[in-house]
Structure 1
Amino acid sequence: MTWLKNAWYVAGFKQELDDGKVVGRTFLGTPVVMLKHSDGRIAALEDLCPHRLMPLSAGRRVGDELQCSYHGMRFAVTGLCTLAPGQSQIPAQAAVRTFPLVQRHGLLWIWMGAAERADTALIPDIRWNEHPEWTPSRGYHHLEANFQLSVDNLMDLGHESWVHLRTIGQEDEEVIPNYPVQVTVKDEGLLYAHREMPNIDAPPFFAMVLNHQGKINRWQTAISLAPSICMTDFGVYPVGTSPDDAYRSHVLHLLTPETERSTHYFWSVARNRRLDDDALTQAVCHAIELTFNEDAAVLKVQQAQLEKHGGAVPRVAMKVDEAPIRARRMLQALVKKEADDPAFVYRPPLMIEDTTPALAMG
Structure 2
Amino acid sequence: MNWLKNAWYVAGFKEELDDSKVVARRFLGTAVVMMRHSDGRVAALRDMCPHRLMPLSAGRRVGDELECGYHGLRFDVGGACTLAPGQANIPRQACVQHYPLAERHGLLWIWMGKAERADPDLIPDIRWNDHPEWTPSRGYHHVAADFRLSVDNLMDLGHESWVHLRTIGQAEEECIPSYPVKVSIEGEGLVRAHREMPNIEAPPFFAMVLDHHGRINRWQTAIGLAPSICMTDFGVYPVGSSADEAYRSHVLHLLTPETESSTHYFWSVARNRRLGDEKLTQDICKAIAQTFDEDAVVLAIQQKQIEAEGGPVPRLALRVDEAPIRSRRLLESLIKQENEDPDFVYRPALMVEDVTPELEMG
Bin for the TM-score computed over the shorter chain: over 0.9
Secondary structure at the counterpart of residue 233 of structure 1: strand
> Which residue of 2 is the match for residue 110 of structure 1?
110
Secondary structure at the counterpart of residue 20 of structure 1: coil
CA distance in 2, matches of 1:279, 1:23: 29
Counterparts of residues 182-331 of structure 1 (less than 5 Å): 182-331=182-331
Structure 1 residue 355: Cα displacement: 5.3
Secondary structure at the counterpart of residue 87 of structure 2: coil
Structure 1 residue 236: Cα displacement: 0.2
The letter for the 2-side match of 1:23 is V
CA distance in 1, matches of 2:332, 2:279: 42
> Which residue of 1 is the match for residue 70 of structure 2?
70
Structure 1 residue 353: Cα displacement: 2.4
Identity of counterpart residues, as a percentage?
Answer: 76
Structure 1 residue 84: Cα displacement: 1.0
CA distance in 2, matches of 1:176, 1:356: 21
> Which residue of 1 is the match for residue 99 of structure 2?
99
CA deviations over 1:32-59 (Å, ceiling 9, x no partner):
0000000111100000000000000111
> Which residue of 2 is the match for residue 125 of structure 1?
125
Given that 1:227 and 1:331 are in contact with CA atoms closer than 8 Å, whether structure 2 keeps it comes out as yes
CA deviations over 1:211-237 (Å, ceiling 9, x no partner):
000000000000000111000000000
CA distance in 2, matches of 1:85, 1:286: 49
Give the count of matched residue pairs: 362
Given that 2:256 and 2:264 are in contact with CA atoms closer than 8 Å, whether structure 1 keeps it comes out as yes
Given that 1:233 and 1:251 are in contact with CA atoms closer than 8 Å, whether structure 2 keeps it comes out as yes
- TM-score, normalised relative to structure 2: 0.99
CA distance in 2, matches of 1:60, 1:361: 59
The letter for the 2-side match of 1:5 is K
Given that 1:81 and 1:94 are in contact with CA atoms closer than 8 Å, whether structure 2 keeps it comes out as yes
Counterparts of residues 109-188 of structure 1 (less than 5 Å): 109-188=109-188
Structure 1 residue 21: Cα displacement: 1.9
> Which residue of 2 is the match for residue 56 of structure 1?
56
CA deviations over 1:67-90 (Å, ceiling 9, x no partner):
111111111101011111111111
- CA RMSD of superposed structures (Å): 0.9
The letter for the 2-side match of 1:302 is Q
The letter for the 2-side match of 1:350 is L
CA distance in 2, matches of 1:188, 1:325: 16
Secondary structure at the counterpart of residue 209 of structure 2: helix
> Which residue of 2 is the match for residue 336 of structure 1?
336
Please identify, of 246-255 and 86-95, the stretch whose mean Cα deviation from structure 2 is larger.
86-95
Given that 2:220 and 2:235 are in contact with CA atoms closer than 8 Å, whether structure 1 keeps it comes out as yes
Please identify, of 349-358 and 46-55, the stretch whose mean Cα deviation from structure 2 is larger.
349-358
CA distance in 2, matches of 1:282, 1:18: 24
> Which residue of 1 is the match for residue 81 of structure 2?
81
Structure 1 residue 360: Cα displacement: 4.1
CA distance in 2, matches of 1:351, 1:324: 18
CA distance in 1, matches of 2:144, 2:91: 40
Secondary structure at the counterpart of residue 49 of structure 1: coil
Counterparts of residues 8-47 of structure 1 (less than 5 Å): 8-47=8-47
Given that 2:221 and 2:233 are in contact with CA atoms closer than 8 Å, whether structure 1 keeps it comes out as yes
Given that 2:196 and 2:359 are in contact with CA atoms closer than 8 Å, whether structure 1 keeps it comes out as no
Please identify, of 45-54 and 84-93, the stretch whose mean Cα deviation from structure 2 is larger.
84-93
- Unmatched 5+ residue regions in structure 2? none
CA distance in 1, matches of 2:116, 2:37: 22
Secondary structure at the counterpart of residue 195 of structure 1: strand
Secondary structure at the counterpart of residue 160 of structure 1: helix
Secondary structure at the counterpart of residue 148 of structure 1: helix
CA distance in 1, matches of 2:322, 2:242: 31
The letter for the 1-side match of 2:192 is Y
CA distance in 1, matches of 2:19, 2:251: 28
CA distance in 2, matches of 1:360, 1:350: 26
Given that 2:14 and 2:107 are in contact with CA atoms closer than 8 Å, whether structure 1 keeps it comes out as yes
Given that 2:19 and 2:37 are in contact with CA atoms closer than 8 Å, whether structure 1 keeps it comes out as no
Structure 1 residue 304: Cα displacement: 0.3
Secondary structure at the counterpart of residue 186 of structure 2: strand
CA distance in 1, matches of 2:351, 2:192: 13
The letter for the 1-side match of 2:87 is Q
- Unmatched 5+ residue regions in structure 1? none
Please identify, of 236-245 and 14-23, the stretch whose mean Cα deviation from structure 2 is larger.
14-23
Given that 2:161 and 2:172 are in contact with CA atoms closer than 8 Å, whether structure 1 keeps it comes out as yes
The letter for the 2-side match of 1:139 is G
Structure 1 residue 345: Cα displacement: 1.4
